[in-house]
């Protein structure tokens, strides 16, 4: 069995903008699952919102996109590419995410070409959907 990659083995993202803590499963070019473990000292808690720290929805979408990038970049034929956001559709936010929570991330890739692709993803909190969205991305050279 091949060991799973660390998020930084595939993603160029680094803290404080790395939102995948661990890769749990990956099928290169098809799907990926992982988790984001939110600490109590994340940079955004103090300002969003004072007295009621809440994970910004846009950061949940970014975490889903990073999980999608892992699925794309796990394919050896795509390692010299970088998937960038091309669009985001149907984003829905269903649960408040707070310090200490663990988001389960899952992405399934859809249609892909050499220059672009689509995927669907979700972030789950305690087995319930916290966020779901459709991603579109373009591929650029790294």
Tens of pLDDT, residue by residue over 8-23, are 999 999 999 999 999 9
**C-alpha to C-alpha distance for 110 and 139, rounded to whole angstroms:** 14
Largest CA distance in the chain: 47
List the chain domain ranges: 7-141
Average pLDDT over residues 38-49: 96
Q: Prior bond to 16 cis, omega within 30?
A: yes
Protein fold of 7-141? Thiol Ester Dehydrase; Chain A (3.10.129)
For the annotated catalytic residues, the residue numbers are: 48
Asked if residue 4 has pLDDT above 70, the reply is yes
Backbone phi, psi, residue 73, to 5°: -75, -10
Average pLDDT of every residue of the chain: 96
Tokens, residue 29: 């070019």
Q: What is the pLDDT of residues 84-111, one digit of tens each?
A: 999 999 999 999 999 999 999 999 999 9
The reported pTM is 0.97
Find out whether 28 and 69 touch, Cβ atoms under 8 Å.
no
Average pLDDT over residues 65-77: 96
Q: What is the pLDDT of residue 2?
A: 73
Q: What is the pLDDT of residues 108-119, one digit of tens each?
A: 999 999 899 999
């Amino acid at each position: 069995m091949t060991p799973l990659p660390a998020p930084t083995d595939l993603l160029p993202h680094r803290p404080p903008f790395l939102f995948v803590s661990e890769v749990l499963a990956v099928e290169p070019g098809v799907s990926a699952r992982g988790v984001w473990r939110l600490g109590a000292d994340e940079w955004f808690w103090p300002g969003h919102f004072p007295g009621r720290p809440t994970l910004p929805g846009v950061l949940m979408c970014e975490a889903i996109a990073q999980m999608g990038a892992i699925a794309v970049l796990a394919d050896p034929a795509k390692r010299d590419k970088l998937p960038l956001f091309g669009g985001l559709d149907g984003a829905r936010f269903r649960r408040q995410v707070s310090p200490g929570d663990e988001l389960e991330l899952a992405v399934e890739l859809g249609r892909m070409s050499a220059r672009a692709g689509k995927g669907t993803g979700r972030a789950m909190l305690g087995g319930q959907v916290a966020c779901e969205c459709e991603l579109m991305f373009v591929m650029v050279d790294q």
